[in-house]
Amino acid sequence: MFKICPNCGAHNTATAKFCTRCGTSLAGVVATAETAVQSAQPTSENEASTANTAAVSEQSSVPSSLTSSSAQNQPVTPQQAQSQVTPPDNSQQQVPPQPASTQTQSQQTAQGPAPTAQPYQQADQTQQQAQTPPEEPNPTVEATKKYAGSYWRYLVDSIKHPATVTRPYHQYFGLTSLAITIVSLALTIALMTGSAVSSLPGAIASNVLITFLKLVFLVAVLMIAVVAVYYLVVNGMLGDRRRSFLTFTTEYAFHCNWMVFFSVFTLLMQMLGMINIGSIFLIWLLLSLGSGLFIISGTYMLFTAQSTNRFDKIYAYLIVGILLVIVFLIIMTFGLSSILGGIGQGINDFGRSFNF
């Protein structure tokens, strides 16, 4: 048992009334039991350290008259006593070195057998394949496929119900129908006259080819002009401004898409060599039906338009007829004269080849 001075922290005996170091009264200080220090001591496994701690606690109970004789003997606090008796850390004990061969064997045993290079190469290849992004489809090809599929649906709907447009379609479908019709007819005529032209001299064959191209261009301009005349009358005179020119062309071709099938059928017959006297009559019949449908479609568009200015549709149809006659005269005057001039030049060249 000992008393700790509240002023300087010195250790005094349990019966001391005054501090042996600073003289402070110890009347109200309660003696401290030695078990408080011994409770922090290690277990019976470290008996040597316990003995040293007991010796330190006995020195702390010696009166100051004895400790003052030696300047090296300082009072020991409970914290210092506890730090002195801290058990040694077994984890810091040095392990005896092992031979190099033993260490190498132990490392190899822990790591296992060294893998070969081939599995790593296969893993790298697999990882590269996984990281390689899949090839994206060509957007142009995909857009073309989508356009072709939608256009085929447009043709099928027009054949089933040519008088009723049930839903909106792409604005270029009408121009596509006109282009297919013109190109198919042009190829049919070219195949029919190709064998005859091939036997002619080069200058005459070139002249015939130029005349043929002029005729194709003339037919294309004439078809576009007819659609434009009907659009101007419907949009301007009747006041039906629901559609643009391209949308109007698409609906116009919707009513006469049979001419697309007629022209393609004629081209297939020519390519397969099925043209004879009977087939020629069939071809002209189909072409006449296609031309009639083309004119009838314009009339149908005129009479089904929504008039907003109360202009009579009969008068509108008469105006359309007058405008169409004017257009035909203009196109035939400039276009047909050029074609006839080319044909005359070809005949002259043909006569000169025979020295007529």
pLDDT tens per residue, range 41-63: 444 444 444 444 444 444 444 44
Predicted local confidence at residue 67, as pLDDT: 39
- Could you tell me how far CA 125 lies from the centroid of its own chain? 26
Tokens 């043909």 -> residue: 350
Predicted local confidence at residue 232, as pLDDT: 94
**CB under 8 Å to 2, separation ≥6 — which residues?**
11, 12, 13, 14, 31, 32, 34, 60, 61
Q: What is the pLDDT of residues 255-288, one digit of tens each?
A: 999 999 998 988 888 888 776 766 778 878 888 8
Predicted local confidence at residue 290, as pLDDT: 87
Tokens 């996984």 -> residue: 130
Q: What is the pLDDT of residues 73-99, one digit of tens each?
A: 444 454 444 444 444 444 444 444 554
Predicted local confidence at residue 9, as pLDDT: 83
Q: What is the pTM of this model?
A: 0.57
Is the distance from CB of 172 to CB of 253 less than 8 angstroms?
Answer: no
CA torsion angle 326 330 335 339 (round to 10): 80
**CB under 8 Å to 263, separation ≥6 — which residues?**
180, 181, 184, 185, 188, 287, 290
Predicted local confidence at residue 63, as pLDDT: 43
Partners of residue 25 on adjacent β-strands:
18
Segments of the chain scoring below 70 in pLDDT = 34-134, 194-208, 275, 277-278, 336, 339-356
- Could you tell me how far CA 193 lies from the centroid of its own chain? 50
Q: How far apart are CA 83 and CA 77, in angstroms?
A: 10
